Amino acid sequence: MNGFPMLPTIIVDIAGSAANILFSFLSLWYAFRLTRLKPENFLWGYLFYVTLAITAFAISRAVGHIAKEAFYIAGKADLWQAIAPYSGGVNTLCMISVAAVMIFYHKGVQAYEAIEQEAAKLKQSKIRLTQAARELRELNLSLEDKVEERTAELSKSEKKFRHLFTASKDMVFFSDRNHTVQDMNASGSEMLGYSRHETSLLTLPDIFRHEGDVSVYAKMLQLDGYIRDLESEFKKKDGSTIYVLISATALHDEQGQIIGSECIAKDLTRLKTMMEQLVSSEKMATVGQMAAGIAHEINTPLGIILGYAQLMMDDFDKDSETYQNLEVIERQTQASRKIVADLLKYSRQSGSARVSVDLNEIIEDAVAITEHSLNLSHIKVTLELAADLPPIIGDPEKLRQVVVNLINNAHHAMEQCEEGGQLLLRTRHDRAAGKVIAEVRDTGHGIPEHIKARIFDPFFTTKPVGKGTGLGLSVSYGIIQEHGGTIEIESPVAGPDKTLLQGTLFRLALPMVEETAAIQE
* Same domain membership, residue 473 and residue 399: yes
* Same domain membership, residue 368 and residue 258: no
Share of the chain above pLDDT 90, in %: 5
Per DSSP, 389 falls in state P
Kindly state whether residue 40 falls inside one of the protein's structural domains: yes
Adjacency order of strands within the sheet including 171-176? 181-184, 171-176, 258-267, 241-252, 226-235
Whole-number Å distance between alpha carbons of 205 and 223: 20
* Same domain membership, residue 457 and residue 362: yes
User: What is the 3-state secondary structure of 270-283?
Assistant: HHHHHHHHHHHHHH
Most confident by average pLDDT, 60-64, 389-393, 494-498? 389-393
Question: Of the ranges 214-228, 432-446, 453-467, which one carries the lowest mean pLDDT score?
Answer: 453-467
Please tell me the predicted confidence (pLDDT) of residue 519. 46
* Same domain membership, residue 359 and residue 313: no
User: What is the 3-state secondary structure of 413-463?
Assistant: HHCCCCCCCEEEEEEEEECCCCEEEEEEEECCCCCCHHHHHHCCCCCCCCC
Give the domain-ending residue among 267, 287, 303: 267
Comparing CA positions, the residue from 340, 488, 319 lying closest to residue 406 is 488
* Same domain membership, residue 256 and residue 190: yes
Q: What residue numbers bound the domain in which 423 lies?
A: 355-520
What total number of domains does the chain contain?
4
Kindly state whether residue 149 falls inside one of the protein's structural domains: no
* Same domain membership, residue 391 and residue 493: yes
Question: Of the ranges 28-32, 107-111, 465-469, which one carries the lowest mean pLDDT score?
Answer: 465-469
Kindly state whether residue 187 falls inside one of the protein's structural domains: yes
> Binning pLDDT at 50, 70 and 90, where does residue 425 land?
very high
CB under 8 Å, gap of 24 or more: what pairs does 499-502 form? 499/238, 500/238, 500/239, 500/240, 501/443, 502/443, 502/444, 502/445, 502/446
Question: Of the ranges 218-222, 325-329, 374-378, 511-515, which one carries the lowest mean pLDDT score?
Answer: 511-515
* Same domain membership, residue 516 and residue 423: yes
CB burial readout 142-181, b (16+ within 10 A) else e = eeeeeeeeeeeeeeeeeeeeeeebeeeebbbbbbeeebeb
* Same domain membership, residue 304 and residue 253: no
Whole-number Å distance between alpha carbons of 514 and 220: 55
Per DSSP, 255 falls in state T
Kindly state whether residue 119 falls inside one of the protein's structural domains: no
Kindly state whether residue 84 falls inside one of the protein's structural domains: yes
User: What is the 3-state secondary structure of 206-250?
Assistant: HHECCHHHHHHHHHHHHHHCEEEEEEEEEECCCCCEEEEEEEEEE
Kindly state whether residue 74 falls inside one of the protein's structural domains: yes
- 89-144 pLDDT, tens digit per residue, is 777 777 777 776 666 666 666 666 777 777 778 888 888 888 888 877 777 767 76
Give the domain-ending residue among 267, 282, 302: 267
Structural contact between residues 265 and 258, judged by C-beta atoms closer than 8 angstroms: no
Question: Of the ranges 43-47, 70-74, 363-367, which one carries the lowest mean pLDDT score?
Answer: 43-47
Whole-number Å distance between alpha carbons of 72 and 59: 20
Whole-number Å distance between alpha carbons of 61 and 135: 65
Kindly state whether residue 64 falls inside one of the protein's structural domains: yes
* Same domain membership, residue 393 and residue 502: yes
The per-residue DSSP string of 74-99 comes to: TT-HHHHHHHHHHHHHHHHHHHHHHH
* Same domain membership, residue 472 and residue 373: yes
* Same domain membership, residue 318 and residue 262: no
* Same domain membership, residue 324 and residue 389: no
> If you average pLDDT over residues 189-205, what whole number do you get?
84
Mean pLDDT of the chain: 78
Please tell me the predicted confidence (pLDDT) of residue 516. 47
Kindly state whether residue 134 falls inside one of the protein's structural domains: no
- 311-337 pLDDT, tens digit per residue, is 888 888 888 888 888 888 888 888 777
> Binning pLDDT at 50, 70 and 90, where does residue 277 land?
low
> Binning pLDDT at 50, 70 and 90, where does residue 437 land?
very high
- 347-360 pLDDT, tens digit per residue, is 554 556 678 889 99
Give the domain-ending residue among 103, 125, 159: 103
